[in-house]
Amino acid sequence: MRHEEFDYDQLLSALDHTAEGWLPPPPGVGDIANGFDTRYLLSFGPFDISPGEILPITFAYVAGEYFHSDCDAFQRLFDPYDPYPYYEQLSFEDLGLNAIWASWIYDNPGVDTDDDGFNFGKFRLCVHESTVTFDTIATEPDIIIDTIVTYTLADTLWYEGDGVPDFRGASPPPAPILRVTPQVSEFQQGELHVRWNGLRSETERDIFSNLIDFEGYRAFISLSPRFSDFVLASSYDREDYNKYIWNNARLLWELRDPPFSLDSLRGLYDGIGSQPDYFDRDNPYYFQDSAFYFTSQDWNRSELRDANGIHKVYPDQPPPTTLDPDSAAIYYPEELTGEGFFKYYEYEYTFRNLLPSQLYYVAVTAFDFGSPGSGLVSLETSPTMNAIAEYAQNQTGKVEAEGLNVVVYPNPYRIDGDYRSQSGGGFEGRGMESFSDDRVRAIHFTNLPHKCTIRIFTIDGDLVRVIDHDCPPNDPQSMHDRWDVITRNTQAPVSGIYYYVVESKYGNQIGKIVIIM
């Protein structure tokens, strides 16, 4: 299977390539050129494989956005025997960029994967500014002048790895670990207080740039664990700006550096003010012999004291003296919370005006500023990575301490209530979409002690069902349980009034449930 050659593009199949050593075009070549018949063969080798050995083969499928720029180009321009008018309007820019990233993911440039301390791959020096000096090093028998080029501004661009696969791609900062505290407000509205610590998110370096590229957080909420259902509720990102530099030799604007904070720009340039993006392409900022303009990186929503948005729990806390929690616990305990987290990286967001009867999924993502200079967009963790499912109800500790009354919903329970739909409250069938309605019915009990027994009786005193509720006190569902609306004899109950009794060491409670079947 070894031939050490690449096929010509399928689009060019109808052309005669016999002069290049290929066979003449086969019959029906028009359907090959237009993509109707797509068959291909991948060949590797040669390899010597002994019996029982495993040979991993790696290849990448690469796609690209904006490949087609004209929706009608195929109908107007395509001709299998003259494909170039159609071929030339295709854009391979994003496809090529993605192919480069695929090779970098396979073998990370500038990374000594096998730690031999010698081979980090291949690189190029991209020189932006240089000076040339001449030094006479000999006069006899001939004059010899040495030319010395000094690079005053240059970047090292690693474009190939050390030949040892890494299989590590560009990734966003680590997602924070959430702690969720539910409660019911004094106005009987559900709330979910989400708290997290951003130490890892804000201090880990990007594998490709070796920069700490953290940019911000976003808070999401959803009624299901599906990625597509999460809705952005609040966001925070650092105030920083991209600086574009005019390259007079190439006659274009270049983005060479990672984003600058406002303070760093003020330290570098006088007269920047509080809005660097005032200096745009049409109104650049001139400094010595250079011209710049600035754009905001993301939205620059950097306010961290507004309690209605993402905010710091300790807004006046300075950065930690050390990032080692063990050392801080010994030498700087005032910089840590009672749980051992750095106060400086503690954040909180409160989801308000929630239905206590609805199960919500909340998440906080972390995102970076990408690599603007190389065309890599900002990367963000998925909200499904750290999503927590929680009812916006009182925690068991508050229920037990304050002796709160048990609440039952929906009450009355109606067979025609359509509780599976969002308009019906979404009380039934979460995660059980393939089940029929009679298999997902549910009557919910909340404000329960973490350990109790729920007994349901008919109005005549006949026992209908017993539910043993036993959860750890700190479990998110310790205050909640459900009845599947099936009797202890595995039958559906009839319409009527039922009593429930909740028994625990904190006392007994009695209430009524109305069922309309």
- Give per-residue pLDDT as tens, 9-38: 999 999 999 999 899 998 989 999 999 988
Rounded to whole angstroms, the Cα distance separating 256 from 244 reads 7
Residue environment code for 462-498, b if the CB has 16+ CB neighbours within 10 A, otherwise e? eebbebebebeeeebbbbbbbbebebeeeeebeeeeb
Pairing type for strands 190-197 and 346-354 reads antiparallel
What percent of the chain is modeled with pLDDT above 70? 98
Largest CA distance in the chain: 124
Higher pLDDT, 12 or 210: 12
The pair of structure tokens assigned to 318 is 């300075």
* 87: pLDDT strictly greater than 70: yes
Instruction: Report phi then psi at 167, rounded to 5.
Output: 55, 40
Using CB atoms within 10 Å of the CB of residue 13, give its burial: 0 to 12 exposed, 13 to 18 middle, 19+ buried: buried
* Nearest by Cα to 346 from 476, 196, 497, 179: 196
* 1: pLDDT strictly greater than 70: no
Residue environment code for 386-403, b if the CB has 16+ CB neighbours within 10 A, otherwise e? bbbbbbbbbbbebbbeee
What pLDDT is stored for residue 510 in this prediction?
95
Instruction: Convert the pLDDT of each residue in 473-510 to its tens digit.
Output: 877 678 889 999 999 999 999 999 999 999 999 999 99
Tell me the average pLDDT of the chain.
Answer: 89
Lowest mean pLDDT among 180-184, 339-343, 384-388: 180-184
Distances in Å between the Cα of 132 and the Cα atoms of 127, 152, 155, 190, 385 are 13, 10, 18, 71, 54
Instruction: Convert the pLDDT of each residue in 224-256 to its tens digit.
Output: 889 999 999 999 999 999 999 999 888 899 888
What pLDDT is stored for residue 231 in this prediction?
96
- Using pLDDT thresholds of 50, 70 and 90, give the confidence band for residue 57: confident
Rounded to whole angstroms, the Cα distance separating 126 from 513 reads 76
Contact 57, 49 (CB under 8 A): no
- Using pLDDT thresholds of 50, 70 and 90, give the confidence band for residue 45: confident
The CATH number of the domain covering residues in 402-516: 2.60.40.4070
What pLDDT is stored for residue 316 in this prediction?
95
What percent of the chain is modeled with pLDDT above 90? 56
What pLDDT is stored for residue 421 in this prediction?
80
Helix, strand or coil for residue 91? Answer: coil
What pLDDT is stored for residue 2 in this prediction?
60
What pLDDT is stored for residue 463 in this prediction?
96
* Nearest by Cα to 196 from 306, 332, 339: 339
Where is mean pLDDT largest: 66-70, 289-293, 361-365, 397-401?
361-365
What pLDDT is stored for residue 3 in this prediction?
65
Domain spans of the chain? 10-106, 109-169, 178-238+300-391, 241-295, 402-516
* 392: pLDDT strictly greater than 90: no
* Cβ neighbours of 337 (radius 10 Å): 14
What pLDDT is stored for residue 63 in this prediction?
93
Instruction: Convert the pLDDT of each residue in 249-305 to its tens digit.
Output: 888 998 888 999 999 999 999 889 889 999 999 999 999 889 999 999 988 988 999
What pLDDT is stored for residue 393 in this prediction?
84
The torsion of the CA quartet 274, 278, 281, 285, rounded to 10 degrees, works out to -50
Where is mean pLDDT largest: 93-102, 396-405, 450-459, 466-475?
450-459
The residues near 21 (Cβ < 8 Å, ≥ 6 apart) are: none
Can you name the residues that pair with 65 across neighbouring β-strands?
none
Rounded to whole angstroms, the Cα distance separating 57 from 55 reads 6
Element (H, E) at 401: helix 396-402
- Using pLDDT thresholds of 50, 70 and 90, give the confidence band for residue 58: confident
What is residue 438's DSSP assignment? G
Lowest mean pLDDT among 80-94, 123-137, 377-391, 437-451: 123-137
Instruction: Convert the pLDDT of each residue in 306-328 to its tens digit.
Output: 999 999 999 999 999 999 999 99
Rounded to whole angstroms, the Cα distance separating 441 from 201 reads 42
What pLDDT is stored for residue 440 in this prediction?
87
Distances in Å between the Cα of 444 and the Cα atoms of 63, 247, 489, 502 are 48, 67, 20, 13
What pLDDT is stored for residue 266 in this prediction?
92
Instruction: Convert the pLDDT of each residue in 349-376 to its tens digit.
Output: 999 999 887 889 999 999 999 887 666 7
What pLDDT is stored for residue 40 in this prediction?
78
CA angle 400, 401, 407 (to 5 degrees): 45
What pLDDT is stored for residue 184 in this prediction?
85
Distances in Å between the Cα of 118 and the Cα atoms of 107, 148, 210, 240, 421 are 16, 28, 19, 37, 62
Mean pLDDT of 434-462: 91
The pair of structure tokens assigned to 313 is 């729990």
What pLDDT is stored for residue 296 in this prediction?
93
Using CB atoms within 10 Å of the CB of residue 29, give its burial: 0 to 12 exposed, 13 to 18 middle, 19+ buried: middle
Mean pLDDT of 431-452: 86
Mean pLDDT of 394-398: 82
